[in-house]
Structure 1
Amino acid sequence: MDRIAQAFARARAANRAAFVAYLCAGDPDFDTSLAACRALIENGVDVLELGVPFSDPLADGLTNQLAAQRSLAGGMTAARVFELVRRIREFAPDTPIVFYTYYNLVFSNGVDAYVQAAKEAGVDGMLTLDLPPEEAADVQAACASNGIKTVFIVAPTTPEARLAIIGKAATGFIYYVSREGVTGVRDSVAANVPEAIAAIKRHTALPVVVGFGIGKREHVAEVAAHADGVVVGSALVNVIRDHLSERAKIAPALAAKAADLVAGTQR
């Protein structure tokens, strides 16, 4: 079993949903980002979703846009992102790491070369936000040959006819975006999550995770009752934003936030 499959298997065995945490790599600087990732992993995060900083993150709301801006301003590059993964692997050999990225970042570096470099650094999966499965043959082939799992998105607007296509293309898990629009914390969980998960599961045996808008323990618990995994991003990135003036406090604050959210995954 690969690390992603193992993580979901461990969660199932414990009768809980897997907790997937998003941070932008290098936000607000390399060393603080490394400490932040460590804090999350040491406080119950099952899968680390690393956003690769990009100048035009079209799927992201303001919180994650600013995180990418801080990361790029702090000197993050593709090579430094790979270095961050290698450093994380020193203390987290078993935690799955999934890149949350955009196709231009992969294509501009050469698809095969980029995916191979990601694998060598220790990446387990790739979610390329703006790449639909119908146009993903090159990334799928490179991932398959390098042993990296693919993750594809289902949206509330995805027609039933496309679910089989998406389910066939993914090899790691399916990411259900529970709300239309961009990332960001919301006051409540979308109402149709159970029905959407059931529809997706008619077309795949892979785990289904739910993200976008989840930011409180009660949100996590509501989603965990139905999904294989729960994704929290902006609520964690906001912790970084709120402690920029005292960066030494970021990791402890994230540890506390993660522990609280992870508690909601138990069924």
Structure 2
Amino acid sequence: MSRYQSMFERCKKENTIAFIPFVMLCDPDLETSLEIIKCLVEAGADALELGIPFSDPVADGPVIQQAAIRALENKATPSRCFELLAKVRLLYPEIPIGLLLYSNLVYRRGIDTFYEECKKVGVDSVLIADVPLRETNFFDSVAAKNDIEPVHILPPLPSEQTLMKVSQSSKGYTYVLGRAGVTGADVAAKMPSEETMQQLKDYNAAPAVMGFGISKPEQVTAAKQHGFKGAISGSAVVRIIEQGLDDKRKMLSELSGFIGAMKAAT
């Protein structure tokens, strides 16, 4: 059983859904990033979604863009991110770890080498934000060779063909967008139609997790009531980091409180 399967089974027994925070690796620097990730896990995160800093994050809004810039300015590299991932896996052997990143980072390292490194450091899933669904088969095949679960995004108002393809190819979980556009906490998520949720079940899709626009506990509760098995929050988490750069202790305290409240809402 994969780490994701184990997590979703545990949540089902506890009558909760998974809460999954996103942060950028090495933001604002490698040492602080590890402290932040430890804080997230110890405050109640069920899984982690982590970004590798990139200079042109086209799917991200300004908050996460700034996180990437901070990390890059502090000498973040993919190699340092993999070193950090190895440390996180050593500390937390059971928590699912997913990467959300951009294709240039994969190509630059070499597709086979990238997925081999993911396996080596204990990554569970990879979502490549800027690869169109019609072009994912090769990435998915290399991921499968390395026991990495590919995750794909289901956009709002998907066509039947898109819904079927995402259901068939997304393995760790199904990333369902709460709204169109880029990441950000300023515009709230909207629930997909009941028909879409039923079609995901009919196609035996991996557990549906809502992302984009999740920033408040009541939105997590609404996601659960709508049938989602998890909720991802990124910009709201990263904004706490951004606002606490001058006071690390306060920042970690506020992160802990936010994660605790979001998990309680599950």
TM-score, normalising length: structure 2: 0.95
Q: Hey, what does 1:209 align to over in structure 2?
A: 209
Q: Distance in 1 between matches of 2:81 and 2:218?
A: 33
Q: Hey, what does 2:253 align to over in structure 1?
A: 252
* Pair 1:238-2:256 in alignment: no
Amino acid at match of 1:231: I
Q: Distance in 2 between matches of 1:169 and 1:98?
A: 16
Amino acid at match of 2:71: S
TM-fit CA distance, 1:61: 0.5
Q: Hey, what does 1:58 align to over in structure 2?
A: 58
Is contact 1:193-1:223 (8 Å) kept?
A: no
Is contact 1:156-1:196 (8 Å) kept?
A: no
Q: Distance in 1 between matches of 2:56 and 2:201?
A: 32
Q: How does 1:93-172 map to 2 (within 5 A)?
A: 93-172=93-172
Is contact 1:28-1:67 (8 Å) kept?
A: yes
Q: Distance in 2 between matches of 1:193 and 1:23?
A: 29
Q: Hey, what does 2:32 align to over in structure 1?
A: 32
* Pair 1:180-2:180 in alignment: yes
Is contact 2:168-2:205 (8 Å) kept?
A: no
Structure 1 spans left out of the alignment, 5+ residues: none
Secondary structure class of the residue paired with 1:58: coil
TM-fit CA distance, 1:229: 0.6
Amino acid at match of 2:80: R
Q: Hey, what does 1:229 align to over in structure 2?
A: 230
Q: Distance in 1 between matches of 2:194 and 2:217?
A: 18
Q: Distance in 1 between matches of 2:190 and 2:92?
A: 33
TM-fit CA distance, 1:134: 2.0
CA gap 1:22/1:195 in 2 versus in 1, 3 angstroms: farther
TM-fit CA distance, 1:194: 4.4
Secondary structure class of the residue paired with 2:123: coil
Identity %: 36
Q: Hey, what does 1:264 align to over in structure 2?
A: 265
Deviations 1:49-82 (A, max 9, x none): 0011111111101111101111111111010110
Q: Distance in 1 between matches of 2:193 and 2:251?
A: 32
Q: Distance in 2 between matches of 1:152 and 1:192?
A: 16
Q: Hey, what does 2:83 align to over in structure 1?
A: 83
Is contact 1:164-1:204 (8 Å) kept?
A: no
Secondary structure class of the residue paired with 2:232: strand
Structure 2 spans left out of the alignment, 5+ residues: none
Q: Hey, what does 1:73 align to over in structure 2?
A: 73
Is contact 2:156-2:179 (8 Å) kept?
A: yes
Q: Distance in 1 between matches of 2:102 and 2:239?
A: 22
Amino acid at match of 1:244: L
TM-fit CA distance, 1:253: 1.9
TM-fit CA distance, 1:91: 1.7
Amino acid at match of 2:229: D
TM-score, normalising length: structure 1: 0.95
Q: How many equivalent residue pairs? A: 265
